[in-house]
Amino acid sequence: MTHSAICPRLNGITMKLAFFLLILGLSACLGPDSPPQTLTPQPSPRASLTPQDSIWQPEPNTTWQWQLANPLDLSFDVDMYDIDLFDNDASIVEELHHAGRRVVCYLNVGAWEEWRPDADQFPASVIGKKYSGWPGEKWLDIRQIDLLAPIMRARLDECQAKGFDGIEPDNMDGYTNRTGFPLTYEDQLQYNLWLAKEAHARGLSIGLKNDPDQAADLLPYYDWALTEDCFAEDWCDQLTPFIEAGKAVFAAEYTDTGITLEEFCPQAKDLNFSAILKNRDLDVYLEICQP
């Protein structure tokens, strides 16, 4: 006789008796020689995700507004806003999110700015030459990650706490400038890789700003790219690997170069770059190339 033949049917008896007979029946069905049966917990759909799997990665032709000068104009119908970390609180980020926008926080990772609230936390040994053309800024010695790490981590923490989706790290190509420090390609690469790791650890997207010579090395670690003057200076092609990888390239051209939409928009469209025309002080003025 098989085990199933002796398992009783439970119709027509009380629930309490049914439960008792069910226990007896299961014991009989399994038998003394049956191996113990255990339930294997099934992972939730997100259980196996790494932090980077849930990080925002904008696609080519994502529209955007970049405004660092206040007061902000939140009325632009674009996919993403790029705004200053320190000058905007969580309520601004929340308002933009409610309007369906992604929000990126601008922060300076390669230069010291005298007006920032954490300016006095930078050791004198990491502050170098003046940043030509930008009063109150001086280059940083990005080789000394151990000294910069607490400050930059605190900035990233603030970006995360305010609800931003990602970061726009400025001045991440110091090795190509006269900083007062003998920075090398490798020094910059290590710092930029560290920044990407720290951003992703907080669930923040991160863009490669300018630094075209390191684009190939950093493409796997960065979620998008941002360029300034690449059409005016003719180096946009160095960022096309991001487009080929399905990652947006945000391209800003500036009115002070005399370039016009008619000059660069056709090429931007061919490249699938998200190109805009701005004033150099990044106020509210915005003209957008149509995809």
**In the numeric block, which tokens belong to residue 280?**
């150099």
Under 8 Å CB-to-CB from 23, ≥6 apart: which residues? none
How does pLDDT run across 243-265, given as a tens digit for each residue?
A: 999 999 999 999 999 999 999 99
**In the numeric block, which tokens belong to residue 117?**
């609230």
Predicted TM-score (pTM) of the model is: 0.81
The CA distances from residue 280 to 119, 233, 257, in Å, are 24, 15, 9
How many whole angstroms separate alpha carbon 273 and alpha carbon 288? 11
- What's the rounded mean pLDDT across residues 95-115? 98
Contact at 8 Å (CB) between 236 and 70?
no
Q: Which amino acid is at 172?
A: M
Residue with tokens 């053309």: 133
Whether 166 has a pLDDT exceeding 80, the answer reads: yes
To 5 degrees, how large is the angle CA 162–CA 107–CA 142? 130
How many whole angstroms separate alpha carbon 240 and alpha carbon 230? 12
pLDDT band at 111 (very low <50, low <70, confident <90, very high): very high
**By percentage, how much of the chain surpasses pLDDT 70?**
82
DSSP conformation letters of 91-109: HHHHHHHHTT-EEEEEEES
Bridge partners of 65? 81
What residue ranges define each of the domains in the chain, with the CATH number in brackets? Answer: 1-38 (no CATH), 51-288 (3.20.20.70)
Cis peptide before 212 (omega within 30 of 0): no
Q: Which of these, 142, 150, 204, lies nearest to 171 by C-alpha position? A: 142
Give, as one character, the DSSP assignment of residue 197: H
How many whole angstroms separate alpha carbon 171 and alpha carbon 180? 15
How does pLDDT run across 85-100, given as a tens digit for each residue?
A: 999 999 999 999 999 9
pLDDT band at 291 (very low <50, low <70, confident <90, very high): confident
